[in-house]
Structure 1
Amino acid sequence: MTQSNNTTPAPCLSQIRDTTKQHLGYRPCLWQLKVARATLEGKDVVCVASTGSGKTLPFWMPLLFRIEGIVVVITPLNLLGTQNKSQLEALGISAIALSSATATAQNFQDIAEGKHRVGCVA
């Protein structure tokens, strides 16, 4: 059973598409829009897609509609976490790549204080 804990209504798919294009420069496809909308509705989401198909974009899209909280993206490789961090920062979104080398008390404190919107964990 899916449980929603978000009281703000999720935007419609066309609004998510247009806002993503305007702010991130990408035009998401239908499955990406549905994943982002489900996330904005407060649902737990599992997304399975092939390599290079654009799985990361639906994690970023909710950042455009919810200014509170942090998104945690778990990646299988440190390199992917670092790439996500770089791409998000190029878009003006504060992010941190966490790995065994960067999992410091100061970085966790920065996250707790809201200095980063995205944590990319490898």
Structure 2
Amino acid sequence: MEPVLDVSARDTWPAPLDRTPEQNLAILAYEKTEKMPYKYQVEVALALKSGRDVVCIAGTGAGKSMAFILPLFLGSKTIVWIVSPLNFIENQMAKNYQKFGLSAVAVNASTITPELILDIKKGKYQVVISSPEAYKDANKLRGALLSKELSSWQHITVVDEAHVIHTWANTCIEASSLESGFP
């Protein structure tokens, strides 16, 4: 995998007005995370930011999670909803994203409160990570996901660990059930 820019050659990076959108996002990400993103991560992020549907298949440790959050470094009202199978992964992802200066929260049985749901609706969090069950349940995240307060925001939905979707069959959200109310 090839990084967008060579970190060891910072003095050769293009001047701000000469940068491509890919280089600009890579430098923003590097400043926030101290990690230079790979070309595929930036391509995925720019496609997501432009509203395109994206399928990103990469191995464990290849940096898919970075691709999910790069659009947040471009500003504007964007929220990333991540569907994750395990509380441990949810909590770990939230902590990692917080290290990059992002407001991220894992929503699960040990963290969910009415106040947390209100904070999500108010746009306090840029990244919300939870289980398929929580997104389906009207008493949990479904109300926030479909809220009027976030209707003008760009929503990016990520299914992490998609290879286990078949085990979620009885609890997974059917896209058609959200279609009519999705902002």
Q: TM-score category by the smaller chain?
A: 0.7 to 0.9
Q: What corresponds to 2:25 in structure 1?
A: 16
2:78 aligned counterpart, secondary structure: coil
Whole-Å separation in 2 of the counterparts to 1:13 and 1:61: 11
Residue type at the aligned position of 1:47:
C
- Report SS of the residue matched to 1:56: helix
Instruction: Give distance in 1, aligned partners of 2:64 and 2:97.
Output: 14
* Aligned residues: CA RMSD: 1.6
Higher RCO (C-alpha 8 Å, min separation 6): 1
* Residue correspondence of structure 1 range 1-122 to structure 2 within 5 A: 12-122=21-131
Q: Distance in 2 between matches of 1:85 and 1:67?
A: 20
Query: Which is helix-richer, 1 or 2?
Result: 2
Partner Cα distance (2:117, 2:59) in 1: 32
Structure 1 Cα separation of the partners of residues 77 and 47 of structure 2:
17
How far residue 46 of structure 1 moved from its aligned partner, in angstroms, is 1.8
Query: Is contact 2:32-2:101 (8 Å) kept?
Result: no
Contact 1:17–1:33 under 8 Å retained in 2: yes
Q: What runs of 5+ residues in structure 1 fail to find an aligned partner?
A: 1-10
- SS of the residue corresponding to residue 53 of structure 1 reads coil
> Which deviations, in whole Å up to 9, do the C-alpha atoms of 1:3-38 show, x marking residues without a partner?
xxxxxxxx7111111111111211111111110110
| Structure 2 counterpart of 1:48, one-letter code | I
Q: TM-score, normalised by structure 1?
A: 0.82
Report the Cα distance in structure 2 between the residues aligned to 1:86 and 1:100, rounded to whole angstroms: 17
What is the SS of the residue equivalent to 1:59?
Answer: helix
**Gap runs ≥5 in structure 2:** 1-19, 132-183
Residue type at the aligned position of 2:101: G
Question: TM-score w.r.t. structure 2 length?
Answer: 0.57
